């Protein structure tokens, strides 16, 4: 397959791009390379002929039209987005622009490309156009897919019980989640109105290597190692479902290859943790590294990194709990997370210890 990936130099996107290349696909990686996109994340693909990086903004209609025309993708996997809630509170305009306008721009470029694919497929040997006037009637004849990657945050907040399903009513509470909800509606509208073979996914919180430094797990590790206070909103009671980034990449490939156009699939990790419990777990893993000699730290004997935990004023509109019901993707597409979470978190901590130059450079920039 020729696969156009947006946001492929970011945290989740880079994991997906590496997986696509490893499986023999040809990838055009479209990334603006802003603060969340990093060349170092995909540096091991620099000399790989199956991967091409196009530095471009998805809001640039001319650039997107050229990318589709020249690369002629079979799949589009759309991950490019502004995604940090705190930034969305202070700078909502950039979230509206990238997440809503950017998605619209990409959908229109994809629709033009898809219609051209259909017209090519429908030209007979005599040069006559065969398909019917409405593209949706030719949906089954095309392998093209537009995978729109979204978040569980569009569903709002849960109480102490219950799970988000694909039919849960949207109830976004931040500029970030509202902008993603808007882009979801646009993507599915392009399926229902124009027949574009769109599939939408909603994932839970991701963790793993190469995550941007503003996210919770990198923040905890960097603050701990620098001797600074480890900030936790409120009392740390908020609950999130944690999914390893490589499991997420597996799920996206499964959905692109087996999913039904017009459908939505929730992708979860089956790993709910309170923020305070996750942070304390990370501190214990760092403590173990000190005790084993893998990590040098200037601390008195018996002191734990957990002593650096500090509770700060809660985030405005902070959702209490997210929890994904991933039963549909398991039943219909035979996918479920495979990584053991204890092993996954341990390996993630070790990666950040082994690659301090990567995240220290990112923080400095």
Catalytic annotation, residues: 152-153, 176
**Angle 243-220-248 (CA atoms, 0-180°, nearest 5)?**
15
Bridge-partner residues for 321, per DSSP? 158, 239
The Cα 245–Cα 265 span in angstroms is 16
Bridge-partner residues for 312, per DSSP? 233
Spatial strand order of the sheet with 26-31 comes to 51-55, 26-31, 2-6, 75-78, 145-151, 198-203, 264-267
Contact 155, 171 (CB under 8 A): yes
- 148-181 burial, b at 16+ Cβ within 10 Å, e below that, comes to bbbbbbbbbbbeeeebbebebeeebbbbbbbbbb
- Could you please report the per-residue DSSP string of 27-49? EEEEE---TT--GGGGGGGTT-T
As a residue count, the chain comes to 365
Run of H or E including 345: helix 341-354
Contact 4, 76 (CB under 8 A): yes
Residue 6: CB atoms within 10 Å: 26
């Amino acid at each position: 397959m020729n696969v156009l990936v947006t946001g492929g130099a970011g945290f989740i996107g880079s994991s997906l791009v590496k997986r696509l290349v490893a499986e023999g696909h040809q990838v055009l990686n479209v990334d603006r390379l802003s603060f969340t996109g990093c060349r170092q994340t995909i540096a091991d693909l620099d000399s790989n002929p199956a991967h091409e990086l196009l530095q471009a903004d998805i809001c640039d209609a001319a650039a997107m039209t050229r990318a589709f025309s020249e690369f002629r993708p079979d799949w589009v996997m759309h991950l490019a987005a502004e995604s940090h809630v705190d930034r969305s509170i202070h700078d909502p305009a950039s979230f509206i622009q990238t997440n809503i306008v950017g998605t619209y721009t990409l959908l229109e470029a994809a629709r033009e490309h898809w219609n051209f694919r259909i017209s090519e497929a429908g030209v007979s040997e005599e040069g006559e156009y065969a398909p019917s006037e409405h593209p949706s009637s030719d949906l089954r004849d095309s392998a093209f897919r537009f995978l729109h990657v979204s978040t569980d945050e569009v569903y709002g907040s849960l109480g102490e019980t219950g799970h988000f399903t694909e039919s849960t009513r949207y109830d976004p509470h931040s500029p970030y989640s509202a902008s993603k909800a808007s882009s979801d509606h646009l993507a599915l509208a392009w399926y229902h109105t124009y027949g574009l073979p769109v599939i939408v996914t909603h994932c839970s919180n991701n963790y793993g290597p190469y995550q941007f430094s503003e996210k919770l797990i990198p923040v905890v590790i960097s603050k701990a190692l620098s001797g600074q206070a480890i900030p936790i909103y409120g009392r740390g009671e908020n609950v999130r479902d944690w999914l390893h980034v490589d499991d997420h990449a597996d799920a996206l490939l499964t959905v692109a290859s087996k999913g039904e156009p017009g459908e939505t699939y929730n992708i979860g990790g089956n790993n709910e943790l309170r923020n305070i419990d996750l942070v304390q777990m990370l501190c214990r893993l760092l403590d173990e590294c000190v005790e084993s000699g893998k990590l040098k730290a200037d601390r008195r004997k018996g002191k734990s990194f957990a002593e650096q935990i500090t509770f700060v004023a809660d985030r405005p509109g902070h959702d209490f709990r997210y929890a994904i019901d991933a039963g549909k993707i398991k039943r219909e597409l035979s996918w479920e997370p495979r990584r053991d979470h204890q092993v996954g978190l341990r390996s993630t901590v070790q990666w950040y210890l082994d690659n301090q130059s990567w995240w220290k450079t990112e923080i400095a920039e």
